[in-house]
Structure 1
Amino acid sequence: MTPQKQLHRPTNPVLVLDWGGVLSTPVQDAFDSWMAAAEIDPKSFMRVMREFHNTADSPLHRRERGEISVSELEEALAPQLCTLAGQPVSADGLLAKMFEHLKPNPAMLQVVELARENGWKTAVLSNAWDGDHYDPDLMAQFDAVVLSDLVGVRKPDLNAYEAVIKALGVEAGDCIFVDDMRRNVLAAESAGMQAIQYEPGVEAQLTKLITNGATSEVSGVDPRGLHLDRLTDYLRTELGSAVVALRPELLPGGRSNISYRLDGGNLGPLVLRRPPLGHILPTAHDMGREFKLLTGLASVGYPVPQPIALCEDAGVIGAPFVLMEFVDGLIIDDAAIASSLDAVSAREASQNLVRCLADLHNIDPVDAGLADLGKPAGYLQRQLLRWIKQWDLTKKIDYPAAGQLITWLQQAVTTLPDQTKTSIVHGDYRLDNTILDPETMKIKAVLDWEMSTLGDPLLDVALTLLYMTESNDNLRNSVPVALGVTTPPGYYTRAEFLSAYCEITNVDTSYLNFCLALSCFKLAAILESIKHRSQAGEQLGRAEHSADLFGDSCNNLMLMGLAVTEGDGVSGLNR
C-alpha cells in the first residue's frame, strides 16, 4: 500500500517523459497484438527478448545506441522467432509490424498539454528501436526530443539524461522524469532529477503538481478493478458512510493483491484491497483470511491497519474485498528512499524489523482468535508440495535449475526434524511491507497478509533474508523486488538480521538451508505468476508494465537456491 513518492514543483519546471508505456499505450500490449495477429510463438519472442535485454552488447542495445540499422536488428531478431505452426518469421518490415498497435496515451498527453499551458517545458527521452513509430506531429509539440539512436546513448546510462538536460538548456533539478521502467527512474534520480515510475494514477498526481494543487473534474470512468457507483452504495448502506464523491487512488506498491486509497467519505481515508484481475494461483488472495488476520492481530495490539469491513459479494466491484484504515508513514521501498536515511536511522529500522517479526512469532494464536488459521503439522512439507504445484501451473520455461532444486528439496524435506516450532507466520515479510514512523523508525503497521497462516517461523525468517539486499549480491540484483532497500550503510546485513532474531527467539536453525532454498523456489513461482498477469494486461500497481523487467530473475532465484544447497547457506544468496 505504498503511496506515490512526493514530488516538488521546481522553480523552472520541466516535464521529461519516456515514450513507450508512458506517452503511449503499454509496449507489451502492442507486442501481444502483433503476436496474436501474426500467430507468432510467444515463447520464442520472450526468449529472445530476455536475451537481448540482459546482454549489454546485444543487437537490441546496439540498435538503441544507433550502432546498427533497423534492418540489421530485424535480421538478428527474425531467425530467433517462429510462428505457432513452427514456420520462420520474415525480417522484412518486422519492427514496423511489432509497433503497429502502439497508440498514444491520451491521459498523459492531456498532462503534457496542461504542463505547456502552465509554462512548463516538455521533452521526450526514449530508447529508440525504430524511429518510424514516433508520430512526427506529436513530437513537434515538445521542446526537445532525445532519441537514443540519434545521440548514441541509451537509458539507464547517465549520459542519456545529460543529453536531454543539455538539449533543454536546464538544470537536472528542474526536471520531473516519468518512465515505466524502474531502472530508468533510479538512474534519473542519480542524474539529479526528480523521477517517478509510470502507473495508473500518475496523471492525477502530475496534474495536481502542475496546477499547484488545483484538481480537475473526475472523468467518471471507473478505475480498473472498481465499480464506483456500486461501491458508493455499499459504503452508504453497509457502513453508513456519507460519501459525497468517492475519489479512488491506486496505491502502486503491491505486486499481487490490488490496493486503492478511498477518499470522499466521513470515515476518513480508507484502503480497499482486492485480488488481482487475472491469473491467480490456487488458494492465493483469500480476502476473508486477510480480514481475519487483521482482526485477530489488531485485537492483541500487533501493528496492523485497523480492519473495517469484509465484503464477500463479488457483485459490488467484481471480487471480494477488504476495507481497512489508511496508515500514513514512511515506506522504504526503493534504493533512493533507503539511502535517504542516515546510518543510525537505518540501524533502528533494521532492529525494529527484527523485533516486529519476533513479536509476531511469539503471539499465541489462541489469544488472537487465530487457532484455526491453519494446520501446523506438516507445514513445510505442504509448502513444498504447494509451490511445486503452482510452479507447474505457472511456468513458461522448463529451467534445468528448477528441476535440480525441486529434486534437492524433495530429498531434504524427508530429513527435517520431527517437531518444529509453530507460530503465526506472515508469508511475505520484508522492510517494504511495513509502514514506519519517520521520526522514531518504529513500525506503525505491517502490510500484505494474504499468505499468512500457522506454520514454521523459520520459513518467514528465510524469506526475509532472501528479500534483503547487500552490496556484494550478484544474482539477487536481477530480482526486481525491494532492490537496494537494505544495501546502504546502517541497515542490517543478512547475517546480522539472523543473529539478532536468534538472540531474541533462540530458534533452531539446523534446517535453515532447506527454508532458504524453498524461499528461493517460492519467490520464483510468485514472480512467474506476476509476469504472466503483466503480459496479459491484468496486473495493476507497480508491476503493471513490468514483464520485461523480470528477465532471468526466476532462473536466477533457482540458481541462488542451488547455491544454498551446495553448503553456502545464507552466503549463497550473494551468489
Structure 2
Amino acid sequence: MDGRIDTAAITTPPRLALDADALLAYVSRHVPAVRRAGRRKVRSLIVSQFGHGQSNPTYKVTCADASGAPVPNLTFVLRKKPPGKILRSAHAVEREHAVQSALGALRRNGTGGGDVPVPTMLALCEDPSVVGTPFYLMSFVPGHVFTKPGLDALPSPAHRRAVYDAMADTLGALHRIDPRRIGLGSFGSGVKSLSSGRGSSPGSGPGSGGASWSERQLERWARQYSLSLVGDADPEPVVTALIEWLRANRPIAEPGGKLVHGDFRLDNIVFESPVGPGPAGTGKHKDKDKPAPGRGVLAVLDWELSTLGAPYGDVAYCCMPYHLPPAAASGGAPAAYPAFAGSIPPSGVPTEAEFVHRWCVASGLPNPRTRTERVAGDPRGAKKPVRSSY
C-alpha cells in the first residue's frame, strides 16, 4: 500500500455481523431520507465493515432495492460500541454523536464551524436490542485518507506541505471554538447524554477537584491501564516508570476549557483529493503536480476521546511521528501511531516547529514549549519520555 486509502473502497464483509433486518426497520423509521424513499423502494441493506478505525466497530450501510442494487444517495455509516465488557467511559459513541452534532450545526449556521467539517449526524440509538450495542448513524464521506505521515506517494513537496498545513489549520480552528457557544459548555462533565448517567471521570470534563486537565488525563489513563490488566498480571515496569515520570513532570500551567479531539492525527482526516488539498487534476486545476488552493478537508473522524481540556495534548499527539523510531513506520512498536520511514521527515513535510507555529496562528494560542505533553498525549503508545521543546 502507498499510504492512501479511498474511503469508498476499504470495506470488507462484516467480521462482526449485524442484524440487517432489525437495522432496516430502524432506519426506515428514524433516517429521514430512508423514510421518504419508503419500504417499496428500500427493500434490504448491503452491510460491509471498515477495516480502519475499529476501536468502535464501523460499518458502511447501503440501501438496496428489490433487485439488490444500491439505491443512489442512500449510503451511510454506522458506528457502534463493541460487544462484551468494556471499560467505564470507553467507546463513547454518545459522546461522538454529541460533539459532531454541535460542530455540524455550527457549520450549517455559517458561523465558523465550516473550518472543522464533520459527517452529518443522522440518528443516535441507545437501545442495544437493535444491533447489540448503542450506535449512531452518519453520512458517508467519500474521499481519501493518508495513513503514512511521510506522504511519500504524493507527487511533490508542495503537496506534502499542503496536507500538513491543512491539518494544522483544522486543529487550530477546533481549538478556537468556544464550546459554550455550541452547547458543549458541560461536555464530558457528567451530563447523562454524554456519559450514560455515570457522572464524570478524571480527564473527561472541564473541572474536577481543581486538578489540571493533564493531571486528570494521566490519572484516567493510569487507571484504565490498571483495569485492563488480565488476572494477576503485574504492570510492565516501563509503564510504571512512565506514569511516575509523567506525574513528576506534568505541566505546571496550561490553557483549559477548549474542545479537544483526543485522537487528532493524519489518518482521522478525510481529504477531497488523493494528492491532498484541493481538487487537483480537475477544472481549472489541471496540473496534477501543483496543489490547488484551499484546504480540501472533507471531514474529521473518530471523536470517541473528545472532551473539554488543554489543546496542547492534541498538538503533541500530531507531533509524535517526529519522535518515534523509524521502525514504527513499518508496523514495529509502537504500532499505535506510525512514524516517518527515515530519520528525518521527507521534503515538504514541515519541521515540528513549523507545524506548531502554524497551529498557533490558526488557534490564536501561545506556543506550548513544554517537555511533557507529547507522551501525555497518548501514553498507550509511549515507550519512554521525550524531552524537547518547540
The alignment's TM-score, normalised by the length of structure 1, stands at 0.51
Contact kept? 1:231, 1:317, Cα under 8 Å: yes
Partner of 1:465: 319
Q: Which amino acid aligns with 1:398?
A: P
Partner of 1:31: none
Partner of 1:283: 89
Partner of 1:437: 272
Matched, 1:483 2:318: no
Q: Secondary structure at the match of 1:356?
A: helix
Q: Which amino acid aligns with 1:432?
A: D
Change (3 A) 1:231 1:245: same
Q: CA–CA distance in 2 between the matches of 1:470 and 1:412?
A: 18
Q: Which amino acid aligns with 2:206?
A: P
Cα distance, 1:437 vs. partner?
1.4
The C-alpha deviation readout for 1:258-290, integer Å capped at 9, x for no partner, is 111111255521000012234533201111111
Change (3 A) 1:342 1:512: same
Partner of 1:308: 122
Cα distance, 1:498 vs. partner?
1.6
1:58-457, aligned counterparts within 5 Å?
Answer: 200-201=12-13, 224-239=16-31, 240=35, 242=38, 243-264=42-63, 268-278=74-84, 280-301=86-107, 302-334=116-148, 338-374=152-188, 375-377=205-207, 378-395=212-229, 398-413=235-250, 416-417=252-253, 420-438=255-273, 439=279, 440=292, 442-457=296-311
Q: CA–CA distance in 2 between the matches of 1:296 and 1:4?
A: 24
Q: Which amino acid aligns with 1:261?
A: K
Cα distance, 1:337 vs. partner?
6.5
Q: Secondary structure at the match of 1:268?
A: strand
Partner of 1:512: 370
Q: Which amino acid aligns with 1:411?
A: A
Q: CA–CA distance in 2 between the matches of 1:357 and 1:371?
A: 19
Which structure: greater helix fraction? 1
Contact kept? 2:119, 2:299, Cα under 8 Å: yes
Q: CA–CA distance in 2 between the matches of 1:517 and 1:337?
A: 24
Change (3 A) 1:507 1:336: closer
The C-alpha deviation readout for 1:358-414, integer Å capped at 9, x for no partner, is 00000111222211213323322211110000111124663222122111222234x
Q: CA–CA distance in 1 between the matches of 2:20 and 2:336?
A: 31
Of structures 1 and 2, the one with the larger relative CO (CA 8 A, separation 6+) is 2
Contact kept? 2:176, 2:364, Cα under 8 Å: no
Q: Which amino acid aligns with 2:52?
A: G
Q: Secondary structure at the match of 1:264?
A: strand
Q: CA–CA distance in 2 between the matches of 1:338 and 1:309?
A: 38
Cα distance, 1:494 vs. partner?
2.6
Contact kept? 1:332, 1:485, Cα under 8 Å: no
Q: Which amino acid aligns with 1:251?
A: F
The C-alpha deviation readout for 1:35-60, integer Å capped at 9, x for no partner, is xxxxxxxxxxxxxxxxxxxxxxxxxx
Matched, 1:494 2:329: no
Q: Which amino acid aligns with 1:249?
A: S
Q: Secondary structure at the match of 2:127?
A: coil
Change (3 A) 1:386 1:298: same
Contact kept? 2:104, 2:118, Cα under 8 Å: yes
Contact kept? 1:425, 1:456, Cα under 8 Å: yes
Q: Which amino acid aligns with 1:483?
A: P
Q: CA–CA distance in 2 between the matches of 1:261 and 1:491?
A: 32
The C-alpha deviation readout for 1:181-224, integer Å capped at 9, x for no partner, is xxxxxxxxxxxxxxx9xx843xxxxxxxxxxxxxxxxxxxx762
The C-alpha deviation readout for 1:48-81, integer Å capped at 9, x for no partner, is xxxxxxxxxxxxxxxxxxxxxxxxxxxxxxxxxx
Q: Which amino acid aligns with 2:83?
A: L
Change (3 A) 1:425 1:341: farther
Cα distance, 1:225 vs. partner?
4.3
Q: Which amino acid aligns with 1:257?
A: N
Unpaired segments ≥5 residues, structure 2: 65-70, 108-115, 189-204, 274-278, 280-291
Q: Which amino acid aligns with 2:242?
A: L
Q: Secondary structure at the match of 1:513?
A: coil
Over the residues paired in the alignment, what is the CA RMSD in angstroms?
2.8
Contact kept? 1:338, 1:485, Cα under 8 Å: no
Cα distance, 1:421 vs. partner?
3.5
Matched-pair identity in %: 29
Q: CA–CA distance in 1 between the matches of 2:375 and 2:75?
A: 40
Q: CA–CA distance in 1 between the matches of 2:226 and 2:139?
A: 37
Unpaired segments ≥5 residues, structure 1: 7-195, 202-221, 525-556, 571-575
Q: Which amino acid aligns with 2:359?
A: Y
Contact kept? 2:255, 2:311, Cα under 8 Å: no
The C-alpha deviation readout for 1:477-535, integer Å capped at 9, x for no partner, is 522245357944322333321222234345344563221121241x33xxxxxxxxxxx
Q: CA–CA distance in 2 between the matches of 1:277 and 1:237?
A: 24
Q: Which amino acid aligns with 2:252?
A: L
Cα distance, 1:469 vs. partner?
5.0
Q: Secondary structure at the match of 1:347?
A: helix
Change (3 A) 1:386 1:225: farther
Q: Which amino acid aligns with 1:429?
A: F
Change (3 A) 1:515 1:283: same
Q: Which amino acid aligns with 2:43?
A: V
Q: CA–CA distance in 2 between the matches of 1:462 and 1:470?
A: 10
Contact kept? 2:270, 2:300, Cα under 8 Å: yes
Q: CA–CA distance in 1 between the matches of 2:237 and 2:45?
A: 50
